[in-house]
């Protein structure tokens, strides 16, 4: 149930993210997809939920509207993720941590003094 609620709220957030039409290549395709209104998208979602089995065969217009709405939704999610990534990179570059961290950079980094055992407990006097 938690995942369904999370998906619902994330979907609502993504619906309010702009598509970034001015920065995205293929602006004509986005403009043709953004002709779908919110009401049409909600109507398509309700139709989809009411009958999932073969609804595209019975309602091709609803399937087309839903498909276009999902494409716009995906573009908004991608644009939002891109902006979030750019923000994180910008914050990290302001902090002076612009270098990339290697996954393998932490191998064999101990010094000999790190390996020396400074104290040992009493030996077993059995």
Which of helix, strand or coil describes residue 118? Answer: coil
pLDDT higher than threshold 60 for residue 120: yes
CB neighbour class for 17 (10 Å; exposed up to 12, middle 13-18, buried from 19)? middle
CB atoms under 10 Å from CB of 42, counted, come to 11
Report, as an integer, the average pLDDT of 11-15: 81
Residue 97 has what pLDDT? 52
Note the pTM of the prediction, 2 decimals: 0.39
End-to-end Cα separation, the chain, in angstroms: 59
pLDDT digit string, tens, across residues 75-94: 988 998 899 999 988 888 87
* Domain extents in the chain: 2-97
Residue 105 has what pLDDT? 63
- C-beta of residue 47 within 8 angstroms of C-beta of residue 54: no
- Residues of the chain with pLDDT > 70: what percent? 67
User: What is the CB-side half-sphere exposure of residue 34 using CA atoms within 13 A?
Assistant: 14
CB neighbour class for 65 (10 Å; exposed up to 12, middle 13-18, buried from 19)? buried
Mention every residue, 6+ apart, whose C-beta is less than 8 A from residue 83.
20
């Amino acid at each position: 149930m938690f995942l369904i609620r999370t998906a619902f709220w994330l979907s609502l957030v993504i619906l309010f993210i702009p598509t970034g039409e001015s920065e995205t290549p293929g602006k004509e395709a986005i403009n043709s997809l953004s002709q779908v209104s919110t009401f049409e998208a909600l109507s398509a979602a309700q139709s989809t939920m009411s009958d999932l089995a073969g609804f595209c065969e019975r309602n091709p217009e609803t399937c087309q509207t839903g498909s276009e709405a999902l494409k716009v939704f995906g573009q908004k999610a991608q644009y939002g993720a891109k902006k979030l990534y750019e923000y994180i990179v910008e914050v990290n570059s302001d902090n002076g941590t612009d270098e990339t961290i290697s996954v393998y950079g932490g191998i064999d980094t101990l010094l000999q003094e790190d390996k020396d055992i400074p104290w040992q407990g009493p030996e077993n006097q059995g």
